[in-house]
Structure 1
């Protein structure tokens, strides 16, 4: 049986996480479970307080790791692999990888990678092998060339590992010091530029040099009033059909979203753009393969249309608060989580909806214990929902419990070249790497 899923459906969740974390200062302790930084995933790692050393004392080249084994087979199965429903345990985490896990990643070619705070593994020839033996710094993400991007502790360098050597970028390459770059989907345009969000700025790598785009330089505006009362985040997306870069702005007043804007890089110039004559908070942008563009704005979901007007999908009647996550089911329909949030603290009361032909359908309300939501679609069109420690399937208009005490987070979900999805989950106090095998 052939299984397929689109790994891009997981990327949007982290953009929302970064936006909702805007009210935190640059250096903060580990967030509390109700902090908006955990609103999307309890296992998503944005290690803002992890003590690490600088990437390198040499700003142009990081130490090569070629003296370490780069193709050492790793354990691929536990002595007695557990089977729960259609899921099989492949390995226990402490036998597979060192450090705290960060990200399961599927490259555009379907190659599978697994990053921790210490190393990166690659699934090669049906075995897990070491791809990056060790590194110091904050893991950021993977690009389309399977390079691993890491930020130094002091934010003075950012570097990429290509499987053999490091390429580092410091101030001599235009990189401006920042500690506000966290784990995120790395955006790339058709010219090969890389785009990263650094909370209040956007960074672009062009021909080996970094450029910094500020709120003012992309023709957006800062909110009026005392700057100490406000915080602002920027989200970036590449719109492939029109070859445009979009930047969404969300302003936060005492932790709550309050207005923003949208600017589009079109024909070499940044053009501020209103949404139906308004400038709402935009904390995430999703460009889908079917041509639809979706904007997440407070408690509203905007959908592009051929007329140029935005279709507005307001908060469903009876739903709570802010739109804190957006996913898409096997048919491409939006799945949205609405949470009551007070001063940036979410998951107080929640509802889970599907949008179908402009109508919201309630799939789960606060009678289910809520938390971060992950949706994975298999090749047969079935939707698996990992929610609040349990695994569900969407059957018709309902969530049907499939497995209790069995759940995962979106950063630890990926699809390999054979269409199987992999994930990290803790069962009976043992954390393991599992995959869908039915």
Structure 2
């Protein structure tokens, strides 16, 4: 555990922001900087079969230290950070023995991390927090997960008395733009199942996530002098307004929770002749998800009845609810629950209001629930992670490996 914090701090200082508008993999060259560092570190701690391919996917092996017939399990995390907020010049700060009061992130800009706004902070009084300086994100999503996996593997190597089967490790680029598993070679990885270390609060254990799609609605207009525009002008911006007014006003991220789905418009731009919006569609229930996509397509059709051909939409599926693939192998969830309980951690089973590499990997033949990495308030300047949560995540990884070996030897 001694290297955990130092390891994490070294990762977050490397800018690995991904780019949804890039067609390359990884989507940004700077992701290679951390990728190469991770390869070197995996070799230094004693991992075997360390590989990195031409798209920066990293895999490594910790061989079994017993002759028992034990399933091969894997642990996966991503090294990119979100394009939604700056990851350049991350300057993490360590707050020891947190007193439960406001934390001044940036005095100059008057930026505070307050339990009045983020009540989860109250869970961590007396603990050590790693926070931002108020100008960037932290990068605990998901560099905390990488640090935890790396530290757990090092611990197992240094403590061979803990018996375990073959363990595979995978680190991926571009998860934050929905491409983290696109080029993941499941056959090469060779695990019977895996866990992504990409959750938030200590105890989180997730095997349900949204069904997800993206949609781009494009409007073409006709510009005419506004003084003489009657029955002639077609305002592309107005067409998008008509489209947006047809979406349920309450079914948006800021008004939904749990398994409730939503429509989320996150970008809009345009002029009279050309306008477009980008949105995401989410729902845990597959039928409702399909209905939401149909609703978007139907709105475009209805608007085009009044203005034929002026509006178009492109809808693309992104990932699906992993529950369908994990439910038949629920023992992999039970092992993770047992590991947490043995460490005094109360498992928090809840659906992910988002997705992880695990959702795509599960549909690629690698069942892959998600486990907490410890961070909070991802994708922004208020992000933080308790050191004690990271330590518990390391212990959980080790215990999962140990329990998998124990249960296999008893069966």
Normalised by the shorter chain, which TM-score bucket? under 0.3
Q: Which of 1 and 2 has greater Rg?
A: 2
Q: Which has the higher strand share?
A: 1
TM-score (norm 2): 0.26
Higher relative contact order (Cα pairs below 8 Å, separated by 6+ residues): 2
TM-score (norm 1): 0.25
Q: Which has the higher helix share?
A: 2
